[in-house]
Structure 1
Amino acid sequence: MATETPRTGGVLARLARFCYRRRRLVLMTWIVGVIVVAFAGFGYGAASDNDFSGGDSGSAKAQALLEKHFPEQQGDTLTLAIKAEKGIDDPATRRKIEKVIADLAASSITGPVTSPYQDESLVTKDRRIARTTIPLTKKEATKAEVKPLVAEVKDASGDGVTLGLGGERAEKAETPGPGPAESVGVLAAAVILFIAFGSLVAMGLPIVTALLSILGGIGLMKLVGYVFPSPDFTVILAAMVGLGVGIDYALFIVTRYKDSLQGGDEPESAAVKAITTAGRAVLFAGTTVVIALLGLVVMGQRLMTGVAIATSVIVLVAMMAAVTLLPAFLGFTGRKISLLRLPRRTSRRRGADRSGERRSPAERWAGVVQRRPLVAAISAGAVLLVLAAPTLSMRLSLPDASVQPHDRSSYTSYKVVSEGFGPGYGAPLIFATRRDSKDADLRSVVGAVGKTSGIAYVTQPRVSKDGQAATFMAFPKTGYQDAATTDLVHRLRDDVLPKAPGGAGVYVGGPNAGTIDYAEEVGSRLPLMIAVVIALSLVLLIALVRSVTIALQAAVMNLLSIGAAYGVIVAVVQWGWLGSALGFPAAMPITTWVPMMMFPVLFGLSMDYEVFLISRVREEYERTGDTRMAVTRGLARTAKVITAAAAIMIAVFTTSLLGPDVAVKQGGLGMAVAVLVDASIVRMILVPAVMELCGKANWWMPGRRTPNAPSTAQAVSPIGS
């Protein structure tokens, strides 16, 4: 390996030197800053916003009419579902049911409750199943306020009576917190780092740096929420991404620092070299992730813009910690970074090249791939395409009670109501239209809707108090997550309503139709977001590696690995393959925001590994002028650190499967699969095979001659291990 001279000038060198020498000041500034930001963010930050409605869809127009003309119907409600083996009229059963209803009505956050004994429409014909609605008088009732109601209903079940409390607020109230997932991720990362570095001190630096950056980043993210609101899953998602990139970025820099020490550099010089080489690549990689995340802005959805901004804040803080806080830590450790070492057995490395130089396993593997590059490329590409194939059948939706764990009260409510009143009771369609007077007639529209195949029954129309709007409800025969329900909504909009007298101005809304419209809006805008992310990332990668060919290779390979991840989550989540073993209660469509969020995150992370690998390959090529040797050595010198970084990412993302949120679990599973595929099939097979096939064309750049000899005039920042 050529001897490097660290850059003594430049912004990064001056920054690294300042942070190293003034390490106490830098550390105290970080600690105080994190405490202040965390206190402000966690104590006074913006509340989550889970309202995905809006836009110009039919459901959005229906919701606007309902909010304006039927404000009395807009409050949150809970649904009490009752199933009695002896029937609800059994004396003991009736006493239990009436007590539960009375206790729910007596809560400070509920309004008057209509008993099923007072309204026959709330009871099935065999009198074994009943339901009633509990209105919530407090807007945005908190989890702590609703949880006692859920607990009371669950405790009352038994002795032949099954009770369940459903509704969005009930679902949130009984959903446990994140639990041990993040802690397990940190522990797994610590084990991987200890194995990679063989030292407790070196292991601890990336962990501490990442945790401080996450704590400060989440606090700052909550403050930014006042300007860019985001949904409640953002914190978990951002914490996963922040933990992964924070540890990975520190890993690359610490690895470079240790290599410089072993090469004979003094600690300060090693720290400066680590920041000006690996640190520069970290800044570029982090910028790529941020730009990819900001591609979500083109989706035109307020909350997803908030997710993009919030997650970008976490990544930016992780980048700043890597190039400021980490060199300060290195100043404290100095040469002691290898203290508390893991005992290792020494062994002779096997294998050598023709010159007698011993080769690493990664070098020998690269040689195997390069001897049969076409076979390797076709085989790897075929595997990725097979994994991606299920993506063609992907369906998008949002989770409801039917896909929650079966021990939840909200799931019990869904099952009981579906059994007694049909699965469509939990997926009502709400029709709304403007009307000129209270005498306006909607009976022809109601009749047409009621006769439509797939509709179980409809309610009578209601006119608003101001006489300016009317509404009625229709209940499908199929459930919230069924593809048949989506087809029904399209048939009503495209065929039934336009043909019914007065139906042209009727909008189909409600939570079910809103979910369908949201999924279709995401599907229509997703190609634009993908195109924007790829274009911006290509520009950055071309600027770094100075090769159009390699940039295009990276884009195609990243698309293949992300497609494979999409295919796997469709097979597991939607088709149910191994779904129960991985913590998914039932087969379900993919949560609408998951593929939209996965793409920019994964594309940015994949570019991280591309940067770290190709930077080293480029350096070796400019030193030797031999593409094959450059790929072999570049792969060998980055294999260990990229493998460790990928293992950390996989561990962090996989721990989401321990959490309670099925949507976050989908995203975590998909991102873990993508990183695994990217670090194994793509980096270890496709990259060396394709670069071997392209030869000198790898380095093509418009407007200049392809380099064919060693050059010292240009230098690409190396980052290997």
Structure 2
Amino acid sequence: MQTGDGLLGGLGRACYRHRKATLLAWLAGVAVLITLWMRFGAAADNSFTGADPGQTLLNQHFARQSGDSLTLAISSAQPVTAPAVRAQVASALVPFEHAPHVTAVTDPYTTPGHVSRDGHIAYATVQFSVSGNSISSSETSMLMNDATRASGHGVTFSLGGDVVDLAETPYGGPDNGIGVGAAMLVLLIAFGSLLAMGLPVATALFGIGGGLSLIALLGHIFPAPSFSPIVAALIGLGVGVDYALFILTRFRTELHGGREPQEAAVTAMRTAGVSVLTAGTTVVIGMLGLLVLRQSLLNGVAVAAAATVAMTVLGALTLLPALLGFTGTRLGKATILERRRNRREARKGTRGGRSRSERWALFIQKHKVMAALSATAFILLLAAPVLTMKLSFPDESAQARGTMGYASYAAMARGFGPGFDAPLIVAAALPSDGAAADMARVETAVARTPGVAAVTPPVVSRDGQAALLIAYPATGAQDAATNALANTISGQVLPEATAGTGIHAYLTGPNAANVTFSNLIGQRLPWLIASVVGLSMLLLLYVFRSVVIAVKAAVMNLLSITAAYGVLTAVTQWGWGGRLFGFPEPMPVTTWVPVFLFVILFGLSMDYEVFLLSRIRESYLVSGDNAAAVVSGLASTARVITAAAAIMVVVFLSFDLTPDPGVKQVGLGLAVAVLVDATVVRLVLVPAVMEMLGKANWWMPRWLARVMPAPQPSSHQATEPLLKTGNHA
């Protein structure tokens, strides 16, 4: 490290000089991590229930009912009680009775309530002794094939349940490669160079490979759901390519300015590298903000995404300088696109040779008030639908048409109502054998609750210490009334019905767990927002030495997030263009999606904010002219911000090629937020507001300046205003 390089500049110089060793270290390190992943990686955990006393009772006293279950819907053109249909149903149930882990298959003809009122739909319940995580997709596929083979002669068998949904809508798959291809295409269009396209993608893929391996290994401590790897991989791809692109673009700028390749790499690391480290740290802070919710699976998601982003940052700060060492001065040569652009600009001599980005910056400077008002109005218009947002976990009505899961749901909804897909299980601990009679009181109280369509008779365990009953709502799982009903039964009906009886009753099951999860989110969300916003503001305050910059960045990020929420609500819940993005029908926003979007987007929004502000501040420290610094910073970053945003948008839109509705919603929300943030916010609202604030942008109280430690200054500061040099980074 040479004097004045700074920490990141010195790191870049070391990796550049020892490029072969750095590359070999990355190759060996990622290979070791992948090997450990394949041999010792933890299995996914898709349970959001956490500590559930009701489920504990079921496990202890109803072992045969404690595992997962499937519903075999039977739809017949003839009445299902017809002799020929009964014989076909009896034959169809045989393979299910002998399937692995199956403890019982109910007979629809001998079990009360299993035949619809019109007599054309019935169902059998396939009960497992293990959870859905222990049922392989191959086992599920065999059962689905059994149902398909049994269908015919006017009778259709459709299997439905969580494991069926997971088998038909797996997370990830071959569509994931589309994000990589799309990113490469955008880079190639933006820079017209295979080398400039390949380096950011290669750097990001190394980081993602290491990150995904860490996810599987950390899963032993922080269990993560099945969607974590695909979401973490696509987020890592988006930010990884962007971070490498920021450094690569500054490196090319320094080469164009006449610097030697090694010094160009050091300067890029010392300037753009700081922006990458700051932006990446903010994304990690945002993701780890999920830990505030203290929910086990969200903890796993947080750690998974944070680990992947951290690895992509490490790749941009170490592997990329090494790869730049192999390129020499080749990246400094003008590409075909750049030569064409230069010739086009030369022909427009009447405009003083200003680039399109610089002309746009001057336009915003001239019309700053109108630009700020117009941008704010547009964002608020996009955000307006968020006032009607409804949250729920998707049920099988959200499955793609043509799947067996949706066919099962549709048949059961026709025969037994939409609430059949949202059973609420009441598990009760009985103080003595005689207390079983008091369960009739509980059954009556639950049945009389408004919104309950039917209640099964209580079933007492063999040891007489526990009982269970099932309540079926009159509304579907995605209806807000069902959530309200669950809260009413849990918070009012059960405590009143068991008062003085010695019975301890709990509402349990998947749907009750979803409601509990929603309640937890509502209680702890303010703490999540406060912690993420507060820590991010402190980081920006440290880097930019300005209270105004930190506060403004937080407000701008919240505007982008709110706009994304609004568009997501309009598309998924209102159905505006829903089919275009793969949503078969209007549906509520998945409960965990807004929380997940917030922590990701607050960090991602900082990417462009930090990059833009870094160049503005760099110019301001040289010239002391706020107006000129804003124009210079915007003109020099507009093109790369646009390219980086385009990469993220196409990567995140590739989420919508996956079949899972929750992942689709994440992809749509991320794409909208990045698009709004990189265009309306960073290229219009931020520069307009900074123009209006003037030197107040850089205000910091003296007492705070004394308390707040300053970043290590670098002696490699620019020697003239960037506006005059025409640098582009």
Where on the TM-score scale, by shorter chain, does this alignment land: which range? over 0.9
CA contact (8 A) 1:430 1:473 kept: yes
**Offset of 1:295 from its aligned partner?**
1.1
Q: How far apart in 2 are the matches of 1:553 and 1:219?
A: 37
Q: How far apart in 2 are the matches of 1:198 and 1:163?
A: 55
CA contact (8 A) 1:6 1:272 kept: no
Report the CA distance shift for 1:367/1:94 in structure 2 as closer, same or farther (over 3 A). Answer: same
**Offset of 1:434 from its aligned partner?**
2.8
Q: Which runs of 5+ in 2 are unaligned?
A: 706-712
Which residue of 119, 122, 136 maps to 2:128? 136
Q: What secondary structure is seen at the aligned counterpart in 2 of 1:134?
A: strand
Which residue of 150, 154, 161 maps to 1:160? 154
**Does structure 1 residue 87 correspond to structure 2 residue 88?**
no
Q: How far apart in 1 are the matches of 2:214 and 2:676?
A: 33
**Alignment deviations for residues 97-137 of structure 1 (CA, whole Å, 9 cap, x no partner):** 33321122232343342333444642224431110011224
Q: How far apart in 1 are the matches of 2:372 and 2:537?
A: 22
**Alignment deviations for residues 512-555 of structure 1 (CA, whole Å, 9 cap, x no partner):** 22111111211221121111111101111011111111111111
**Does structure 1 residue 67 correspond to structure 2 residue 59?**
yes
Which residue of 178, 183, 190 maps to 2:184? 190
Which residue of 420, 429, 435 maps to 1:425? 420
Q: How far apart in 1 are the matches of 2:465 and 2:365?
A: 74
**Does structure 1 residue 101 correspond to structure 2 residue 89?**
no
Report the CA distance shift for 1:51/1:138 in structure 2 as closer, same or farther (over 3 A). Answer: closer
Q: How far apart in 1 are the matches of 2:486 and 2:130?
A: 32
**Offset of 1:12 from its aligned partner?**
2.4
Report the CA distance shift for 1:298/1:704 in structure 2 as closer, same or farther (over 3 A). Answer: closer
Which residue of 35, 40, 47 maps to 1:44? 40
Which residue number corresponds to residue 268 of structure 1?
262
Where in structure 2 are the equivalents of 1:352-371 lying within 5 Å?
357-371=352-366
CA contact (8 A) 1:241 1:311 kept: yes
Aligned length in residues: 706
Which residue number corresponds to residue 708 of structure 2?
none
Which residue number corresponds to residue 305 of structure 2?
311
Give 2:10's aligned amino acid.
R
**Alignment deviations for residues 461-519 of structure 1 (CA, whole Å, 9 cap, x no partner):** 23333433332221111111111212222333454445446389533222222111111
Which residue number corresponds to residue 618 of structure 1?
617
Q: How far apart in 1 are the matches of 2:170 and 2:269?
A: 41
**Does structure 1 residue 474 correspond to structure 2 residue 493?**
no
CA contact (8 A) 2:5 2:715 kept: no
Which residue number corresponds to residue 601 of structure 1?
600
Which residue number corresponds to residue 710 of structure 2?
none
Residue range with higher mean Cα deviation, 471-480 or 630-639:
471-480
CA contact (8 A) 1:180 1:658 kept: no
Q: What secondary structure is seen at the aligned counterpart in 2 of 1:439?
A: helix
**Offset of 1:249 from its aligned partner?**
0.8
Which residue number corresponds to residue 644 of structure 1?
643
Where in structure 2 are the equivalents of 1:652-691 lying within 5 Å?
652-691=651-690
Q: How far apart in 2 are the matches of 1:87 and 1:629?
A: 81
Q: How far apart in 2 are the matches of 1:517 and 1:211?
A: 38
Q: Identity of aligned pairs, percent?
A: 49
Q: How far apart in 2 are the matches of 1:92 and 1:485?
A: 38
Q: How far apart in 2 are the matches of 1:443 and 1:595?
A: 41
**Alignment deviations for residues 224-251 of structure 1 (CA, whole Å, 9 cap, x no partner):** 1111111111001100110011101110
Which residue number corresponds to residue 323 of structure 1?
317
Which residue of 452, 455, 467 maps to 2:452? 455
Give 2:247's aligned amino acid.
I
CA contact (8 A) 1:397 1:589 kept: yes
Q: How far apart in 1 are the matches of 2:717 and 2:141?
A: 57
**Offset of 1:8 from its aligned partner?**
5.0
CA contact (8 A) 2:65 2:128 kept: no
Q: How far apart in 2 are the matches of 1:480 and 1:29?
A: 51
Q: What secondary structure is seen at the aligned counterpart in 2 of 1:406?
A: coil
**Does structure 1 residue 486 correspond to structure 2 residue 483?**
yes
Q: How far apart in 2 are the matches of 1:48 and 1:501?
A: 38
Report the CA distance shift for 1:94/1:340 in structure 2 as closer, same or farther (over 3 A). Answer: farther
CA contact (8 A) 1:650 1:673 kept: yes
Report the CA distance shift for 1:336/1:672 in structure 2 as closer, same or farther (over 3 A). Answer: same
CA contact (8 A) 1:438 1:463 kept: no
Which residue number corresponds to residue 521 of structure 2?
522
Which residue of 356, 374, 378 maps to 2:373? 378
Where in structure 2 are the equivalents of 1:194-205 lying within 5 Å?
194-205=188-199
CA contact (8 A) 1:83 1:129 kept: yes
Report the CA distance shift for 1:120/1:296 in structure 2 as closer, same or farther (over 3 A). Answer: closer
Q: How far apart in 2 are the matches of 1:432 and 1:148?
A: 32
Give 1:469's aligned amino acid.
A
Q: How far apart in 2 are the matches of 1:110 and 1:615?
A: 61
Which residue number corresponds to residue 445 of structure 1?
442
Q: How far apart in 1 are the matches of 2:300 and 2:171?
A: 22
CA contact (8 A) 1:299 1:526 kept: yes
Q: How far apart in 2 are the matches of 1:134 and 1:340?
A: 66
CA contact (8 A) 2:5 2:714 kept: no
Q: How far apart in 2 are the matches of 1:48 and 1:696?
A: 52
CA contact (8 A) 2:5 2:716 kept: no
CA contact (8 A) 1:182 1:652 kept: no
Q: How far apart in 1 are the matches of 2:8 and 2:489?
A: 62
Q: What secondary structure is seen at the aligned counterpart in 1 of 2:581?
A: coil
Q: What secondary structure is seen at the aligned counterpart in 2 of 1:581?
A: helix
Q: How far apart in 1 are the matches of 2:697 and 2:117?
A: 74
Query: RMSD of the alignment, in Å?
Result: 2.5
Residue range with higher mean Cα deviation, 302-311 or 488-497:
488-497
Residue range with higher mean Cα deviation, 545-554 or 60-69:
60-69
Q: What secondary structure is seen at the aligned counterpart in 2 of 1:701?
A: coil
**Alignment deviations for residues 614-664 of structure 1 (CA, whole Å, 9 cap, x no partner):** 111111112222211111111000011111111111111011111111111
Q: What secondary structure is seen at the aligned counterpart in 2 of 1:506?
A: strand
Where in structure 2 are the equivalents of 1:490-569 lying within 5 Å?
490-500=487-497, 502=499, 505-569=504-568
Q: Which runs of 5+ in 1 are unaligned?
A: 707-711
Q: How far apart in 1 are the matches of 2:717 and 2:242?
A: 20
Report the CA distance shift for 1:559/1:667 in structure 2 as closer, same or farther (over 3 A). Answer: same
Q: What secondary structure is seen at the aligned counterpart in 1 of 2:541?
A: helix
CA contact (8 A) 2:498 2:505 kept: no
Report the CA distance shift for 1:370/1:17 in structure 2 as closer, same or farther (over 3 A). Answer: closer
Q: How far apart in 2 are the matches of 1:629 and 1:664?
A: 43
CA contact (8 A) 2:255 2:332 kept: no
Residue range with higher mean Cα deviation, 651-660 or 572-581:
572-581
Give 1:18's aligned amino acid.
A
Where in structure 2 are the equivalents of 1:214-233 lying within 5 Å?
214-233=208-227
Q: How far apart in 2 are the matches of 1:642 and 1:167?
A: 44
Give 2:457's aligned amino acid.
Q
Which residue number corresponds to residue 287 of structure 1?
281
CA contact (8 A) 1:150 1:174 kept: no
CA contact (8 A) 1:547 1:698 kept: yes
**Does structure 1 residue 114 correspond to structure 2 residue 102?**
no
**Does structure 1 residue 150 correspond to structure 2 residue 144?**
yes
**Offset of 1:361 from its aligned partner?**
1.8
**Offset of 1:261 from its aligned partner?**
1.1
Which residue of 14, 18, 25 maps to 1:18? 14
Give 1:81's aligned amino acid.
A
Report the CA distance shift for 1:244/1:6 in structure 2 as closer, same or farther (over 3 A). Answer: farther
**Offset of 1:77 from its aligned partner?**
1.5
CA contact (8 A) 1:182 1:655 kept: yes
**Alignment deviations for residues 4-38 of structure 1 (CA, whole Å, 9 cap, x no partner):** x9965433233222222222221111112111111
**Alignment deviations for residues 287-308 of structure 1 (CA, whole Å, 9 cap, x no partner):** 1111121111111111111111
Residue range with higher mean Cα deviation, 322-331 or 144-153:
144-153
Which residue number corresponds to residue 709 of structure 1?
none
Give 1:573's aligned amino acid.
T
